[in-house]
Structures are given as C-alpha cells and as structure tokens.
Amino acid sequence: MLSTLIATLALLSAPFQSAPFQSAPLQSAAGRQGPNADPQPKQVRCDVQVILSTAGAPDIAPELRPIKRYLENSFGNRYSRFEHVSASRLLLGKDQRGGVSLPNGNQLSLTWLGAEDGLLRLAMEVGSLKTQVKVHDGGLFFQAGRKHKDGMLVVAIRVTAVGSAGP
C-alpha cells in the first residue's frame, strides 16, 4: 500500500496559473509582502488542482506547466505523466470548512484555522488522514498517495490570504 505523502513547497516565485483562474502576485490585500503582510487576513483562497500521475511516456497537461518542476521533483522518480483532472477554488473564512470531491470517491476537506507566525494554518482531512498544514501566503503544498486507476492522485493546493482583518 502506498503511504500518504504530504510535501510542502514554498512556491513564492512561481504564480499558480490554472484554467479558469489565475492568482495575482503574492501580496496581501494591503499590498504588503512577507513578514509585513496582514497578520490575520479575513479569508484564504485555496486553489485546488486534482492531478492523476502515472508512469509512461513523459507528458504534462498544459494547466500544470506552472508547477511542472515541483511535480517532477516531488513525484518524478515514480511518475512521468501528469493529467489535470479538475480545478476548484475554495474561499474560506476563519474556522470555515470547504470540501472538494476526489475522483476516487474520497472527500478532501480544508478548514482555515488562522494565521500564525506569518504562516497560514489549515486543517486538512482526506480519507482517514487528518493533519494540519502551515504554508506561506501564496504557497503550495501537495497531498498525495491515494491510488486511482493505474496511478496516484496528487492534489496541489495553493493558499492565498484575501482581505484584511484590520480596521
């Protein structure tokens, strides 16, 4: 059985582009970056891409080209084909839960828990996995390891702060 893998990657230099949406440059609503960004944004936007990774002749869907090197670095030792299955966008307020149905029948659930030490903290549940993830504003992480068809599902999640909780 393939164990669940979570790989957190800071993709602060590569904007996440996915049809039908694109994220803006990495800035808070107040236009500040990094440690000067809003300490507690009103919401987070989670751009979720579901990917089927398989062996075979190397190929990557056009929608996944912006994250190609991260997919290859993380999963390229076992998989060389990356098919774009679906894209979803969740807009979550603090302690709000959102979900995405996966093609293997599982449900991915994300709950925004707030900002902590300059990082956005989310609870993530899929199948029997329950964990928390901390990611930089605009950062990307993967949840992978669930078998599907003749490969493995990879879920790419980019988390971006939206709005300001200040006055």
Are the CB atoms for 2 and 145 separated by under 8 Å? yes
Residue 72 within a domain: yes
Residue 148 within a domain: yes
User: Can you give the pLDDT at residue 35?
Assistant: 52
Q: Take residue 143 and report the two structure tokens written for it.
A: 């949840």
Count of the separate structural domains present in the chain: 1
Q: Take residue 150 and report the two structure tokens written for it.
A: 């003749």
The string of pLDDT tens digits covering residues 85-98 is 999 999 999 999 99
Residue 22 within a domain: no
DSSP 32-50: --GGGS-SS-SEEEEEEEE
pTM value is 0.76
The string of pLDDT tens digits covering residues 127-139 is 899 999 999 999 9
Residue 32 within a domain: no
Residue 137 within a domain: yes
| Domain extent for 74 | 5-15+39-162
DSSP 117-161: TTEEEEEEEETTEEEEEEE-TTEEEEEEEEEETTEEEEEEEEEEE
Residue 45 within a domain: yes
Residue 83 within a domain: yes
